[in-house]
Amino acid sequence: MTDDTEVKRKRRLSKKERKALKKQRTNNNNAQKVSITATKPEADEEAAIDYLKNYEAIEVPTKVSSEINNKKGGNNTANEDLEGGSTGKTLGKWFPNALLVKSSISFTNTGQLLVNGKVDGIDESKTKNPRASLVLFYQYTEKTKKWNPERVKILMSYLSIIAKKRNLGGRIRVAQEGVNATLSAVDMPTKDGASAAETLRYVAQDLKNFDPVFEETDFKFIDDLSPDRHFKELRVIPVEELVFYGIREEDAACQEGGVHLKAKEYHEMLKEENAVVIDVRNHYEAVIGRFDGQEKVDDPKKKLEHKGAEYIDPKMRKSTDFTQWLSKDETKEKLKDKKVLMFCTGGIRCERASAFLKKEMGDEVDGVYQLQGGIERYLKAFPDGGFWRGKNFVFDKREAVSAEDKDGDGGVVKKKKGKKDNKKDDDLPAKCCVCEKKWDRYVGKKKCFTCGVPVLMCSICMSKKPDKTKGMEIKVRCPLCIEENITVPCSEVEFTDNGVKNKKNQDEQDASAGKAAQSVLKWGGGHAKKKKLQRKAQRRICQFGTECVRKDCMFYHPERQGEKSTSS
């Protein structure tokens, strides 16, 4: 070829140049997208800032010190990112108005410091034995003084400002009826940085300054945790109901629930014979820990006989199953004329459930009571575990907590040094879903093949990946699906919103095709996978064009657009 006709080849970019180009494209794309915080009216944020100005806020540094920044070559990007806080990322179509605030400081489970998501070579003296803290709380407003939508927006903005200021992580659900939250903080590695414990106490005061209703809140602080227990981001999620039961408020107002008992009062009532104790949590939580120690006799010479309140597991996949369980005749017969004790992880699920039970059976039972502060408060009051057996499944990075281990199981699978197996928990129904050996760790995010709830799978079986192996998926089922002989994958069944109920009645289902679960632990139900494939196919033009004879073809047919509009 001559020089005139020769095509110039493009120079291959170096790895560093490719990364820079990718970052530039990402930034451009994010700039074009509508930011979730930008959609909020400016007035909301201004109103939220006004609350912060009304009192003398204790200053808690939220950005990395200049000393750390200088170690990174004087690049100011990290500090500028901290000022912004929001990632511009949405939480899907179910939560389009949620706020997401990145935490600037976090730690890996090996103790490495992450500054804006990157490992930083900070001096060891500044990260010597850093600790994290958690605070769990919920608060309902008064029945006649619900927050209006504008107030909810202001509260969300207020919380996002606090998150940036205090360097928080976790999840907050906000509704007109109140707040449900799990928040985390970690010791700041700067010279004048606040400790994690101090930071969360400041947050409690921030909320009390926003609304006096938080003066009544039971803030459950858990301090001196491993630094990797801190969340890397905070999600502020607006919802219609803090815990979704599918119950109208006029049928069960949270303010009309059972009598709240402190841990020691609850413990004493568990000893009573004419009582039942209802586990308001999901079955996958109950299999690794429960209140049934009061039914056991400690003396090995005696036979095991019923002592104290009878433990009842409603065997629910999700909260919406509670009403269906309570409507059964056998349930009502078991509760009749008994003192009904209820408990859950932190107390919030008992609020609506106890109110509904009182409305349905108030005259038929000898009182309805609930554990104030949930299992978290009970284990603090009884360091030896009391009548609790096993582990308390939690919705934070601790994973599951026992009386003797507040740091929890979270992280990699490894046996903790000096930890002895608790023999009194040997008969708990916690076992691997594949090999059926004793196992009580929810790791690897393994889900039931037929209903989507978390399943227990041991490390040996996990390495074989049965959920990815054709023909082996049916082994990966929860105890409820095995007990009910559920065999149809949840991905093949359509459910109502929030996976509450199977749209196809069980009587109408083809018996030869197997039995499907009545509810699934999944937003929108199991048919989401099919809809995703349809949306993907509709973006591609059908290769057969006008010759395609399938009327239900999922691929795009430009010539059929007119037919759809006229038929509709």
Q: What is the Cα–Cα distance from 545 to 548, expressed in whole angstroms?
A: 6
- What 3-state class would DSSP assign to 481? helix
Verify whether residue 542 is a known catalytic residue: no
Strands 169-175 and 233-238: parallel
Radius of gyration (C-alpha) of the chain in whole angstroms: 27
Q: What is the Cα–Cα distance from 188 to 502, expressed in whole angstroms?
A: 48
User: Residue 135: what are its φ and ψ, rounded to 5°?
Assistant: -135, 130
Q: Where are the alpha helices (DSSP H) in 225-373?
A: 263-269, 283-286, 322-326, 329-335, 348-361
Burial of 451 (0-12, 13-18, 19+ CB in 10 A): buried
On whether the CB atoms of residues 400 and 441 are closer than 8 A, the answer is yes
List, in sequence order, every residue forming a beta bridge with 470; answer none if it has no partner: none
| Residue whose C-alpha is closest to residue 328's, from 359, 361, 350 | 361
Strand (E) or helix (H) holding 523: none
| Residue whose C-alpha is closest to residue 71's, from 126, 130, 16 | 126
DSSP state at residue 234? E
Taking each helix axis from N to C end, the angle separating 42-53 and 149-166, rounded to the nearest 10 degrees, works out to 60
| Residue whose C-alpha is closest to residue 469's, from 451, 449, 444, 488 | 449
> Of the residues 344, 350, 432, 490, which is catalytic?
344
On whether the CB atoms of residues 36 and 88 are closer than 8 A, the answer is yes
SS (H, E, C) 453-478: CECCCCHHHHHHCHHHCCCCHHHCCC
DSSP class per residue in 328-362: SHHHHHHHTTSEEEEE-SSSHHHHHHHHHHHHHHT
List, in sequence order, every residue forming a beta bridge with 431; answer none if it has no partner: 438
Q: What is the Cα–Cα distance from 206 to 334, expressed in whole angstroms?
A: 45
On whether the CB atoms of residues 346 and 374 are closer than 8 A, the answer is yes
CA 365 to chain centre: 33
Q: What is the Cα–Cα distance from 455 to 441, expressed in whole angstroms?
A: 9
The token pair that represents 426 in the structure block: 């040997």
The token pair that represents 108 in the structure block: 């890996």
On whether the CB atoms of residues 342 and 370 are closer than 8 A, the answer is yes
Q: What is the Cα–Cα distance from 518 to 353, expressed in whole angstroms?
A: 20
Q: What is the Cα–Cα distance from 141 to 152, expressed in whole angstroms?
A: 12
On whether the CB atoms of residues 312 and 292 are closer than 8 A, the answer is no
Active site residues: 344
